């Protein structure tokens, strides 16, 4: 398994398991099965509301001696309603209690968007704080504090643009080591890859298979399927593998980590075995031409009348 090696020598397996939408009642089995298959990297978040069940699975695999804590890489994310230096510690403590861990490997600011403490998802413009009211630089101090307290080994961000990374790099003491963003053949983000390579920030690709099981409210009528894309299907057929395996291996060959979600034992195994597929330069060039700057996670849930956030500002477009 390819790994990212961090400056302190820690190693993160580049292929991990996404856990958004892995339903309570199923995610326990999915995590246990994934560990049997060989997954050692798990992508979690407080807002996925399944961390308790994932924590039960971790506790049980450790007790059964299947893996040790040190063999796993566990990421989680600070939800938008806990921005502010003073709120990070308690949010992380809740995640650690739910996951039944004493430390995380990586803790990310989930979005550069701040919500009022009592709000999980906004319903009106008054549910938000602006970034002037809750500056990222201040939230980041809270992230640095939890590194110093030994509660997470690394910190980073998610859904940050190059501009927002630049602003953060100007004010931070501990540099962000990861940006987790949507990336797949329809949204290839070449400038972000170049910038993060220069700045020694690792990238993780989310929704690498097109996030087909998103709630309908997050879907738009003009959406196109990645898994059914003609080029991806043709390459898969030629290699004797599945379209999902092409998409996963494509992400790895570009030097990004990738966290496909599955709760199905057959697809979990298939996704893990993507690394046996080899894509050549012709395949990579053909896939490069599929870029259409199209997002599945558009961030429209942060934009509504009187919200301080706009899609243009969110993505710097
Ligand atoms: N930081 C952020 O803001 C975000 C982070 N994420 C993270 O990224 C992870 C992955 O992204 P996500 O949006 O969940 O979507 P993915 O792109 O990983 O797609 C998941 C869907 O693909 C299906 N699938 C999985 N494997 C295969 C396969 N081999 N063949 C066909 N279909 C398959 C799954 O079904 P099934 O389960 O039935 O196999 C599910 O319907 C998330 O779970 C989360 O951890 C995602 C969005 C935003
Ligand atoms: O990680 C993610 C998936 O879940 C959330 C919605 O429920 C998104 O906000 C976020 O991008």
- Check if 48 is active-site: yes
Residue 231, pLDDT score? 98
User: Measured between alpha carbons, how far is 178 from 202 in angstroms, rounded to an integer?
Assistant: 5
Give residue-wise pLDDT tens across range 132-150: 999 999 999 999 999 999 9
Phi, psi at 225, each rounded to 5° = -90, 130
Q: What is the pLDDT of residue 43?
A: 98
Q: Is the pTM of this model over 0.95?
A: yes
Share of the chain above pLDDT 90, in %: 96
DSSP assignment of 283-296: HHHHHHTT-----S
pLDDT at 217: 87
- CATH fold of the domain at 3-315: TIM Barrel (3.20.20)
DSSP string across 222-254: T---STT-HHHHHHHHHHTS-HHHHHHHHHHHT
Tell me the three state secondary structure of residue 153.
strand
Reported as a pLDDT band with limits 50, 70 and 90, residue 180 is very high
- The ligand with the least distance to the CA atom of 260 is 1
pLDDT of residue 220: 87
In short, whether 244's Cβ falls inside 6 Å of ligand 1 is yes
Ligand 1 touching residue 80 (CB < 6 A): no
- Return the domain boundaries, the chain: 3-315
pLDDT band at 154 (very low <50, low <70, confident <90, very high): very high
CA distance 126 to 118: 12
Please write the tens of the pLDDT for every residue from 207-244.
Answer: 999 999 999 889 988 888 999 999 999 999 999 999 99
223 vs 89: which has the higher pLDDT: 89
Supply the residue whose CA is at minimum distance from atom 3 of ligand 2. 20
Token pair in block for residue 270: 């298939």
Q: Is the pLDDT of residue 203 over 90?
A: yes
């Amino acid at each position: 398994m390819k790994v990212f090696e961090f400056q302190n020598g820690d190693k993160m397996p580049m292929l991990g398991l996404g856990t958004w939408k892995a339903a309570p009642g199923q995610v326990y089995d999915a995590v246990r099965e994934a560990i049997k298959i060989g997954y050692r990297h798990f992508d979690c978040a407080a807002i996925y509301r399944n961390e308790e069940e994932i924590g039960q699975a971790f506790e049980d695999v450790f007790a059964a001696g299947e893996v040790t804590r040190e063999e796993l890489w566990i990421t989680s994310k600070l939800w938008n309603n806990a921005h502010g230096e003073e709120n990070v510690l308690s949010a992380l403590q809740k995640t650690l209690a739910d996951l039944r861990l004493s430390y995380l490997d990586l803790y990310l600011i989930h979005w550069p968007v701040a919500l009022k403490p009592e709000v999980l998802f906004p319903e009106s413009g008054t549910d938000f704080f602006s970034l002037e009211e809750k500056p990222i630089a201040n939230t980041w101090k809270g992230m640095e504090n939890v590194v110093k307290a030994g509660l997470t080994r690394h910190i980073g961000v998610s859904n940050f643009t190059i501009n927002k990374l630049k602003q953060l790099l100007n004010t931070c003491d501990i540099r962000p080591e990861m940006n987790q963003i949507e990336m797949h053949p329809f949204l290839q983000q070449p400038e972000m890859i170049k910038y993060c390579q220069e700045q020694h920030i690792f990238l993780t690709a989310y929704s690498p298979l097109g996030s087909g099981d998103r709630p309908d409210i997050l879907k738009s009528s003009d959406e196109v399927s990645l898994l059914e894309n003609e080029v991806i299907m043709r390459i898969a057929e030629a290699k004797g593998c599945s379209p999902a395996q092409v998409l996963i291996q494509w992400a790895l060959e570009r030097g990004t980590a990738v966290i496909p979600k599955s709760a199905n034992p057959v697809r979990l195994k298939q996704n893990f075995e993507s690394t046996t597929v080899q894509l050549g330069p012709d395949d990579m060039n053909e896939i490069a031409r599929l870029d259409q700057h199209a997002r599945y996670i558009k961030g429209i849930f942060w934009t509504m009348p009187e919200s301080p956030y706009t899609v243009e500002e969110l993505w710097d477009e």
